[in-house]
Structure 1
Amino acid sequence: MKIEHLQGLISAPFAPFNGNGKLDTNLIPSYYAFLKKNGITGAFINGSTGEGVSLTLEEKKEVAQAWADCTNHDADFKVMVFLGGTCLADCIDLAKHAYEIGLYAVSLTAPFYFKPANVDMLAQACIMVGESIPGMPLYYYHIPVLTGVNVPMYDLLKALDGKLPNFAGVKYTHEDFMDYQSCMSYQNGKYDMLWGRDENMLSALVLGAKGSVGSTFNYAAPLYYDLIAAFNANDLVKARELQQKSIDMIRLLGKYGGISVGKAYMKVTGIDLGEFRLPVKNMSAEQFESFKIDVESLNFDDFKSK
């Protein structure tokens, strides 16, 4: 299989819930249109931002089907499905479903309860799932802060090279730039290394990143495209200023409770996707009013998605 190297901003969409905490996939077509309008080139669905680990198997399929229904006509918008990791049989089921409904790729992370003892065991898990969908790209999702599995991705590339033809690369959500650069250079840049830390994008651009997957792209895509343009124009002063703006925006996630704050940012843009499911903490109505004041102080209207 020829490995395509994706470019631009790939959003990690939020799971759309109604006011009762029930999945509402009727919101997805307008969500897709919103992302397209802001230059987003793809979607990484059912991942951390999409609460994939809090969805049932059937809900994950429902989300995947809804994204397929509104994007399969669009060759310029790639949808990748996160499979999870603790039960490989479920991962294979979800992978086959994604293939059957015509989505672009799937992504697997390390099993994070019974963890792989070493990189060879992790590679075996990737091979087991990847071989179930031989005609579809499979990416590994490296996010050790959540999985607790922190093997060098350079070692995983070596362990999988030549053993899984549809292994496409890594969604790299970590801060090990030595490992990331080694992966970028491996086999003359054979594998697609998608960057996954929005607050460190500038550093990844320096190392040659062309495609990124991020949650803040949902609501601040213009900021990142301006950052990329400044970097490409060698205007590093402006690029650093824009990266700092990204960092300031992301700091509010920590101030108001974490990952759920992304949905509050979406609400400020005019899109209400409900709240996160337990055990994630959502902000109170009073906190949301304070949050809006902090967001305004960032001049969010100047760079938010519209």
Structure 2
Amino acid sequence: MAPQKKLQGLVAATITPMTQNGEINLSVIGQYVDYLVNEQGVKNVFVNGTTGEGPSLSVQERKQLAEEWVAKGKDKLDQIIIHVGALSLPESKGLAKHAAEIRADGIAVIAPSFFKQVNKDGLVAFLREVASEAPGIPFYYYHIPPLTGIKISVEELLDGMKEQIPTFQGVKFSDKDLLDFGRCVKKNNQGQLVLLYGVDEQLLSALIMGADGAVGSTYNYLGRASNLLLEAFSNGDNVLAQKYQFSTQEFLSFVIAQGFGVAQTKAVMTLVSGIPMGPPRLPLLSASEEFIARVKARLEGVKNCPYS
């Protein structure tokens, strides 16, 4: 595997734009790229993950989206990571091979989660098989036990992972277990791996623990404020960083109370960016008009953050 710039900072977990008929809308990806870079200051993306409704898309749709992000992001984005996880090992391997062929900057894999009797050896064997199809690009494990129900600690997985998967470069850690995360940071004392945190409302806590950066849905529309948080933290101004975190937490606390998921994220992104993200794919239903009306006013408060 060729040496590559370390993945760090903010990574937007991208939304999959759809038409009102429920088809993927590739025509706005170029506009989406420019919006992330120019309006939010975010230059890394994580495509076809949870926010992107990856598990609800066909293999062909996932390939088309990956191709479009790589094509439109060339010379504009720093790194494009393609999530290639699936319940089916052959499908996941095929997606990994495709990501390598289109010259993505890395791949990520979620734990297959239908069969819950998964142990460490079985999971690592699955990940190894997928990663072997893309031997020239970095591989990241996508840890999200609240959705998968697979609760093998990342600290446990790190033991021997690099030896079994030479392209293993790090973890997207989407769990609130800061004990596990902290132990991962301690185990990674040489800094050979990238540890990216995936719970946006706890970003500052993860940075203090030693996170290299973050992957999340809110960086699509709160990227600028979150970048200011990163800057304040980097400058040693934890009081200012805390203020930015509290500002984003206030908004997220509000929307979570309204019922916040993929559909609502698409509605918020449409409001903020002006790019039509469309409805989610069934069985998810579109955000209600009431939700959109309530959120609109709150967004102005975050957008005009007094600490900027």
- Structure 2 spans left out of the alignment, 5+ residues: none
- What RMSD in Å do the two structures reach over aligned CA positions? 1.8
Matches within 5 A, 1:243-254: 243-254=245-256
- Give the equivalent residue in structure 1 for 2:271: 268
- Give the equivalent residue in structure 1 for 2:62: 60
Local SS of the residue matching 2:269: helix
- Aligned mates of 2:212, 2:168 — CA distance in 1: 18
- Aligned mates of 2:86, 2:58 — CA distance in 1: 14
Letter matched to residue 281 of structure 2: R
Q: Work out the number of aligned pairs and report it.
A: 301
Shift of 1:121: 1.1
2:80 and 2:106 in contact (8 A); partners too: yes
Letter matched to residue 12 of structure 1: A
Shift of 1:84: 2.4
Matches within 5 A, 1:201-216: 201-216=203-218
Matches within 5 A, 1:27-38: 27-37=28-38, 38=40
Letter matched to residue 20 of structure 1: N
1:128-154 alpha-carbon deviations (Å, 9 max, x no partner): 111121111111000000000011111
Shift of 1:290: 2.7
- Give the equivalent residue in structure 2 for 1:173: 174
- Give the equivalent residue in structure 2 for 1:93: 94
TM-score (norm 2): 0.92
- Structure 1 spans left out of the alignment, 5+ residues: none
1:47 and 1:82 in contact (8 A); partners too: yes
Shift of 1:116: 5.0
Q: Is 1:288 the equivalent of 2:292? A: yes
Q: Is 1:234 the equivalent of 2:236? A: yes
1:5-50 alpha-carbon deviations (Å, 9 max, x no partner): 3121110110011122211101100100111112212110000100
Letter matched to residue 28 of structure 2: L
1:138-193 alpha-carbon deviations (Å, 9 max, x no partner): 11000000000011111111131312110111101112222212222325222111
Identity %: 35
Q: Is 1:141 the equivalent of 2:145? A: no
- Aligned mates of 1:146, 1:152 — CA distance in 2: 14
Larger deviation, residues 245-254 vs 165-174: 245-254
2:28 and 2:275 in contact (8 A); partners too: no
1:12 and 1:45 in contact (8 A); partners too: yes
Letter matched to residue 265 of structure 1: V
Shift of 1:282: 2.2
- Give the equivalent residue in structure 2 for 1:256: 258
Larger deviation, residues 130-139 vs 89-98: 130-139
